[in-house]
């Protein structure tokens, strides 16, 4: 890996939390460079502009920062439906630890910029499709292993679960409590994954 890419990843690692907490429009280039500990002018050595930074931050967050979380869905030592349940249980715990304020970085940026920036909406759509795919793989595996038989097409069910989760996080941020998270989880376990 070349030195510029290593430094770029280091900048992303140290600054993503600013955009996660403040949103795209609430985050300035100076906020990013202050969090990364670099001079403001250096930002443009690594990113074309703030919009391209956001795209890189989204991918870095999904593929690097959240890698361990998504490994829950790939753990073949656990039954596939249990992996999905464990994944969302973990996500609920993370949001509780954060005081029900964070939500999902990808979802937050989608809501704020999805209809404004083509490159951001393309990135968030690609990431959401990847999440759907990972849920889908678990559902297909459950079907093949033990005859999990959803009344709904498994692809549609995968999309529905991910979309429902994003809506749940939106409502959680408004209510600042776990009630809607618990409702989501109960329906997931008692209705969707039975």
Domain boundaries, the chain: 3-62, 66-192
- The CATH class for the domain spanning 66-192 reads mainly alpha
Question: pLDDT tens digit string along 118-131?
Answer: 999 999 999 999 99
* CATH code given to domain 3-62: 1.10.10.60
Q: What gap in Å lies between CA 125 and CA 107, rounded to an integer?
A: 10
- The per-residue pLDDT for range 5-57, each reduced to its tens digit, is 999 999 999 999 999 999 999 999 999 999 999 999 999 999 999 999 999 99
Residue 39 corresponds to which tokens in the numbers above?
A: 């001079």
Q: List pLDDT tens digits, range 64-103.
A: 999 999 999 999 999 999 999 999 999 999 999 999 999 9
Flag whether the pTM goes above 0.85. Answer: yes
Q: What pLDDT does 1 receive?
A: 64
Q: How many C-beta atoms lie closer than 10 Å to residue 4's C-beta?
A: 10
Q: What is the rounded distance in angstroms from the CA atom of residue 32 to the CA atom of residue 113? A: 18
């Amino acid at each position: 890996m070349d030195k510029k890419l290593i430094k770029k990843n280091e900048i992303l690692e140290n600054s993503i939390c600013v955009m996660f907490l403040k949103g795209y429009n609430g985050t300035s280039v100076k906020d990013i460079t202050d969090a990364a500990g670099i001079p403001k002018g250096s930002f443009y050595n690594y990113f074309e502009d703030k919009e391209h930074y956001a795209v890189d931050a989204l991918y870095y967050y999904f593929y690097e920062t959240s890698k361990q979380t998504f490994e829950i869905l790939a753990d073949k030592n656990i039954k596939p439906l249990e992996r999905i349940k464990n994944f969302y249980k973990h996500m609920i715990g993370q949001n509780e630890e954060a005081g029900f304020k964070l939500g999902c970085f990808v979802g937050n940026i989608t809501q704020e910029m999805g209809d404004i920036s083509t490159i951001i909406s393309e990135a968030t759509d690609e990431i959401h499709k990847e999440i759907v795919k990972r849920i889908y793989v678990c559902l297909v595996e459950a079907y093949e292993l033990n005859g999990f038989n959803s009344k709904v097409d498994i692809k549609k069910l995968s999309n529905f679960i991910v979309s429902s989760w994003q809506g749940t996080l939106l409502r959680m941020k408004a209510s600042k409590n776990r009630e809607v998270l618990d409702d989501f989880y109960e329906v997931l376990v008692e209705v969707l994954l039975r």
